[in-house]
Amino acid sequence: MKYKVKITVMKRDYHQDLADRFLTDPDTGKCSIFHEGQEFIVTKENYNNFPYENHFCGAAWDVIKIKVYSALQGGNFYWEGWMKNTKEQILCCDDGIRPVIFLLERIEEE
C-alpha cells in the first residue's frame, strides 16, 4: 500500500490586538503565503523537497512535517475516539498572531 498526504488550508486568522501590541507593522494582516482552499499533495518522493518546490512556508512545514512523515508510512494521525476519522488531523502553524489552520488527510493508494 502506498500513501500520500493532502494538505488543505482551512482558515487564516489575524489577531489585531496581538499585532498592535507586538508587531512593528501592526497592519500586516493575515498570512499572505496561503489562501483558504489551497491544496498540496505530499508523497514519499517529494517529501524532502516539498516546501521548496511548492512555495510552502518553511515555518509551517516545520510544525506539520513529522505528522506528514508518519502518515506517509501508513500511521494514523490520532488514536480511535479522538478524531471522527483517524486519517485526518487539524493542525496550525506556530504564528500566534497570523495563524493558518491546515487539514491533513492520509490517502491510500493501491
pLDDT tens-digit series, residues 2-48: 999 999 999 999 999 999 999 999 999 999 999 999 999 999 999 99
Residues 57, 89, 50, CA angle at the centre, nearest 5°?
A: 30
Q: Residue 1: pLDDT band by 50, 70, 90 thresholds?
A: confident
What sign results for the dihedral spanned by CA atoms 13, 95, 20, 33?
negative
Provide the pLDDT for residue 79: 66
pTM over 0.85: yes
What are the pLDDT digits (tens) for 51-90?
998 999 999 999 999 999 999 998 877 766 777 888 899 9
